[in-house]
Amino acid sequence: MLLEKMKKGVGKVVITILAVLLIISFAVWGIGDMVTPGGNINQVAEVDGTAITQREFQDQFQREMNRIRARIGNIDAQQARNLGLADSTLNGLISRRLLGLQASDLGLLVSDEQVIEQIQRQPAFRNALGQFDRSMFQITLANNGISERAYVASIRQDTQQDYIGGVITAGAAAPPQLAETVYRYRNERRSADVIKIKRASAASAPNPTDADLNAYLEKNADQFRAPEYRRFSILHMDPVQVAKELSPSEERIQREYEDRLSGLSVPERRRLEQILIKDEDAAKKAYASLTEGRSFAAVAKDTTGKSADEIKLGMVTASDLLADLATAAFALQKEQFTQPTKSPLGWHILRVTEIQPGREPTLAEVRTTIVNDLSQEMAQDDLVTRANRVEDALAGGASIEDASQEAGIRITKTRPIDIARKVQSGGAATGLPEDARFIETAFSLNKGATSDLVETADGGYFMVRVDEVIEAAKRQLDQVRNDVVAAWKTQKLNDIAKKTAEEIRDAAKGGTPLAEAGRKYSLAVESSKPVSRFGTGTDNIIPRPLLPALFKAKTGDIVMQQTADGYAVARIKDIQNNPPPADDGDFKRLQETLTSALANDVLSEYTRALRNEYPVSINQAGLEAYFSGQGYGSR
pLDDT tens for 306-355 read 888 889 988 888 888 888 899 999 999 999 999 999 988 889 999 999 99
What is residue 4's predicted lDDT score, i.e. its pLDDT?
Answer: 39
Q: What is the mean pLDDT of residues 513-520?
A: 95
Sign of the torsion formed by the C-alpha atoms of 89, 94, 95 and 100:
positive
452: number of Cβ within 10 Å = 10
**Which of 66-70, 121-125, 533-537 is least confident?**
66-70
> Would you say 236 and 608 are in contact if contact means Cβ atoms under 8 Å apart?
no
What is residue 449's predicted lDDT score, i.e. its pLDDT?
Answer: 95
Q: Distance between CA atoms of 521 and 504, rounded to whole angstroms?
A: 9
What is residue 37's predicted lDDT score, i.e. its pLDDT?
Answer: 52
pLDDT at 194 over 90: yes
Q: Distance between CA atoms of 496 and 198, rounded to whole angstroms?
A: 10
pLDDT at 122 over 70: yes
Q: 124: pLDDT confidence band, cut at 50, 70 and 90?
A: confident
pLDDT in tens, 130-171: 778 887 887 788 777 777 888 888 888 888 877 777 777 777
pLDDT in tens, 449-496: 999 999 988 889 999 999 999 999 888 898 889 999 999 999 999 999
385-419: string of b/e by CB count within 10 Å (b at 16+)? ebbeebbebbeeebebeebbebbebebbebebbbe
- Residues making up the chain, counted from first to last: 635
DSSP assignments along 453-472, one per residue: PEE-TTS-EEEEEEEEEE--
pLDDT at 26 over 50: no
Q: Distance between CA atoms of 250 and 65, rounded to whole angstroms?
A: 41
Q: 15: pLDDT confidence band, cut at 50, 70 and 90?
A: very low
337 compared with 178, residue with greater pLDDT: 337
pLDDT in tens, 264-315: 888 899 999 999 998 999 999 999 999 999 999 999 999 998 888 889 988 8
**Which of 161-170, 211-220, 543-552 is least confident?**
161-170
Helix (H, G, I), strand (E, B) or coil at 205: coil
Compute the CA torsion angle 620, 623, 629, 632 (nearest 10 deg): 90
Q: Does domain 189-203+478-576 have CATH number 3.10.50?
A: yes
Which CATH number does 229-250+364-470 carry? 3.10.50
Query: Hey, what amino acid is at 18?
Result: L
274: number of Cβ within 10 Å = 23
Which CATH number does 266-356 carry? 3.10.50.40
Helix (H, G, I), strand (E, B) or coil at 598: helix
Q: Distance between CA atoms of 125 and 152, rounded to whole angstroms?
A: 14
> Rounded to a whole number, what is the distance in angstroms from the first to the last CA of the chain?
37
Q: Does domain 22-176+587-628 have CATH number 2.40.128.110?
A: no
Q: Distance between CA atoms of 453 and 465, rounded to whole angstroms?
A: 11
Q: Distance between CA atoms of 331 and 329, rounded to whole angstroms?
A: 6
Q: Distance between CA atoms of 430 and 445, rounded to whole angstroms?
A: 21
What is residue 198's predicted lDDT score, i.e. its pLDDT?
Answer: 92
**Secondary structure letter of residue 544 according to DSSP:** G
Mean pLDDT in the chain?
A: 85
What is residue 259's predicted lDDT score, i.e. its pLDDT?
Answer: 87
> Would you say 519 and 503 are in contact if contact means Cβ atoms under 8 Å apart?
no
What is residue 192's predicted lDDT score, i.e. its pLDDT?
Answer: 96
What is residue 202's predicted lDDT score, i.e. its pLDDT?
Answer: 63
Q: Do 229-250+364-470 and 189-203+478-576 fall under one CATH topology?
A: yes
DSSP assignments along 87-134, one per residue: HHHHHHHHHHHHHHHHHHHTT----HHHHHHHHHH-GGGB-TTS-B-H
Burial class of 184 by CB neighbour count within 10 A (0 to 12, 13 to 18, 19+): middle
What is residue 588's predicted lDDT score, i.e. its pLDDT?
Answer: 83
Measure Cα distances from 414 to 325, 337, 433, 508, 579 in Å: 66, 73, 12, 61, 65
Strand partners, 193: 527, 571
What is residue 32's predicted lDDT score, i.e. its pLDDT?
Answer: 42
Q: What is the mean pLDDT of residues 555-567?
A: 95
Q: 39: pLDDT confidence band, cut at 50, 70 and 90?
A: low
> Would you say 432 and 438 are in contact if contact means Cβ atoms under 8 Å apart?
yes
Range 248-251, long-range pairs (CB < 8 A, 24+ positions) = 248/371, 248/374, 248/375, 248/378
In what helix (H) or strand (E) does residue 439 lie, and over which residues does it extend?
Answer: helix 436-442
36: number of Cβ within 10 Å = 14
Give the CB-side neighbour count of residue 359, counting CA atoms within 13 A: 7
What is residue 519's predicted lDDT score, i.e. its pLDDT?
Answer: 94
> Would you say 515 and 170 are in contact if contact means Cβ atoms under 8 Å apart?
no
The listed range with the strongest mean pLDDT (76-85, 164-173, 209-218) is 209-218
> Would you say 67 and 114 are in contact if contact means Cβ atoms under 8 Å apart?
no
Domain boundaries, the chain: 22-176+587-628, 189-203+478-576, 229-250+364-470, 266-356
The residues, any chain, with a CB within 8 Å of residue 44's CB and separated by 6 or more, are 52, 53, 54, 57, 90, 618, 619, 622, 623, 626
What is residue 118's predicted lDDT score, i.e. its pLDDT?
Answer: 86
**Secondary structure letter of residue 370 according to DSSP:** H
Q: Distance between CA atoms of 328 and 337, rounded to whole angstroms?
A: 9
